[in-house]
Structure 1
Amino acid sequence: MCPDATAHDAPARAHDHRPTSVNAVRIRLLIPTFAALMLVVGVLAGCGSTSAPHPLVMGSDGTPAMSVMAEIYAGALRNSGTAVSGDVVIGDDAQLLSMMARTEVDLFGAFTGTLLAGLAPELAPTTSEDTYNDLNRSLPQGVSVGDPTPVTNAPQLVVAISLATSTGVTDLSGCARLPAGLPVAVTGTPSEATLHVLADAGCRLGPVQTLTDVHAVVARVATGTAVGILSPLQLAAQDTEGPAGKVQSLPVPEQSPGTSTPAGSAPQSAPPVTVGPRAEDLVPVYRTAALGSDQVKTINKVAGEITTADLATMARKVQSGAEPRDLAVDWLGEHGI
């Protein structure tokens, strides 16, 4: 405990029979008092300098995948020498952004399309690049995003391999060749935007059937009598030895604009136009003032290593009872982060 700076008594003056001026006497009396004050100031300054830096606080939406990502980001920062709290704050994107504004959360993982929809619902980008750029422009002041990872959670149409083979459908552009009216198996409620996009791609979908979980959706689709809407992250978490080995997703094709080239002229190059659901790429969202450049580089290293299959596998293990932190430690060790 630091001493009280007011509890000092001047020592008694020593007897000296030599003649002494009044000023000399005053100086001799003040020297020990001044020294004591300087000692107190030094001790108090020492008390202030021993406080540890505020540890970074991770956030998560509480799902198995995001719980793992929170621990991966936390572990990567710890391994680089940054103090990180052992607690993870749970909330949805809006709640975590609010807590970030109050400096209660410093970093959390999010999917670009979902986060953008909450911040700027009037925007409707589809490509990964456009969605990321729009998100960057829409973030609150003092909030930034790191490099996007290849982990995607964008909804995709899933069909039985046997059905895709018999109809010759390889991607979403051939959706019109699927039988009309096939039920759409989902978990939860699909967004109207996703259903509209699939209809615009030529899909002639039947009624929506909500099933209990992803495994039930995959099993239903594997029969060839229904299609499903799942994300690559959801599908990758399934055991391919089961029904998941009998289904495939229809990827979004990249199409060039339908412009004709006059005869005899050189073909004009144009950027590809992607038609499909909005991109949902995993990114780290962080409080700008909380992370320095070295810490940002650390979390961006994760983006260069994590894959959809990696995260799906770890999420499946969490569902089976594994601890997210243990899985994160193993993953970080395997990838040298």
Structure 2
Amino acid sequence: MRRTLASALLTMLTLLAPVLGGCAANSAPAVLTVGAGQGPESALLGHLYAAALRYYGTPAAVTETDGVPSVLDSGSVTVLPGFTGRFLTELNPNATARADEQVYRDLVSALPEGVAAGDYTMSAQDKPALVVTEATATAWGGTDLSALRRNCAQARPGAVKAMRVPAVVGSCTLPKALVFPDDKSLFAALRAGKINAAWSTTADPAIPSDLTVLADKTSLIRGDNVVPLYRRNTLDERQILALNEIAGVLDTGSLADMRRQVAEGKDPGAVADAFLQANPLGH
């Protein structure tokens, strides 16, 4: 009798093994794909949000994409980090919003059906910025972009090749920027007086410390804050929380520092992981 019962139990366990194994396999969370546009900064943001998802227990991998919202439509990626202003320009080229919050609101309104936006980083942005020498700031009478507006006729801007720069700042229509091959030659020309304003971005780690970045207190240039886009109905509350909590720890200085490390040759994933170890989420 005991042998018969033992044999029956063994047979039952044998039959259940594939089922139980299948359940165990199905219980493993799926790997979420985070998209990153071409370029080191986009790769850094992709790894930062992927690290945030892993921080809360979701496996995540980064894959290179075109970096535009339409990649979410295909389902090839679930999350796509980027910048509010650039996303808005892509989705609605005629948008006029410039202030950070309004840019975010207009972006949310412009998103295609099936795509949502997480929280944007109020303290972290990387939007176009004008850099001048201390002598120019003194001559123009200030270190804010309003000084450019007052001295519009004297402005002689320069920019690194392929950089998209505003043609108009407030009421000032700027002449076409003189093009330079890299940051080093751009800032050298600024110091030499070949130009008197150099286009850069607020989180560019290459800006020399002896030069002045004109502040934009009245939002004359469109905001470009970090924001994650994601496919609706694909993330649970914990995963959305992971994305949103980046907004609480990331600022422009930290973004510039991480960009500097990547420019020096460090792996973007390692840089992102180190940042979250030093700035834990949920605190």
Q: TM-score, normalised by structure 1?
A: 0.72
- Unaligned runs of at least 5 residues, structure 2: 1-10
Name whichever of 159-168 and 97-106 sits farther off. 97-106
**Equivalent in the alignment of 2:58:** 82
Equivalent AA in structure 1 for residue 102 of structure 2 = D
Task: Quote the Cα distance in structure 2 between the aligned partners of 1:190 and 1:82.
Answer: 36
**Equivalent in the alignment of 2:43:** 67
Structure 1 residue 281 displacement after superposition = 0.9
Task: Quote the Cα distance in structure 2 between the aligned partners of 1:174 and 1:125.
Answer: 22
**Equivalent in the alignment of 2:237:** 293
**Equivalent in the alignment of 1:105:** 77
Q: Is the 8 A contact 1:93 1:115 kept in 2?
A: no
Q: Deviations over 1:88-115 (max 9, x none)?
A: 2112233xx3442232211121111111
Q: Is the 8 A contact 1:172 1:201 kept in 2?
A: no
Pairing 1:312-323 to 2, within 5 Å after superposition? 312-323=256-267
Q: Is the 8 A contact 1:169 1:177 kept in 2?
A: no
Structure 1 residue 214 displacement after superposition = 2.3
Q: Is the 8 A contact 1:155 1:277 kept in 2?
A: yes
Distance 1:45 1:101, change over 3 A: farther
**Equivalent in the alignment of 2:20:** 46
Identity %: 28
Determine if the alignment matches structure 1 residue 151 to structure 2 residue 124: yes
Distance 1:221 1:294, change over 3 A: same
Structure 1 residue 222 displacement after superposition = 3.0
What's the C-alpha RMSD, in Å, of the aligned pairs?
A: 2.6
Distance 1:179 1:295, change over 3 A: closer
Structure 1 residue 224 displacement after superposition = 4.3
Pairing 1:225-264 to 2, within 5 Å after superposition? 225-226=194-195, 227-234=197-204, 237-238=205-206, 244-254=208-218
Q: Deviations over 1:287-317 (max 9, x none)?
A: 2222211121122221111111212222222
Q: Is the 8 A contact 2:132 2:212 kept in 1?
A: yes
Bigger CA radius of gyration? 1
Determine if the alignment matches structure 1 residue 209 to structure 2 residue 178: yes
Aligned residues: 270
Q: Deviations over 1:262-296 (max 9, x none)?
A: xxxxxxxxxxxx4x122111101112222211121
Distance 1:281 1:322, change over 3 A: same
Equivalent AA in structure 2 for residue 232 of structure 1 = T
Q: TM-score, normalised by structure 2?
A: 0.84
Q: Deviations over 1:103-156 (max 9, x none)?
A: 221112111111111112222111111110011111122211111112212212
Q: Secondary structure at the match of 1:283?
A: strand
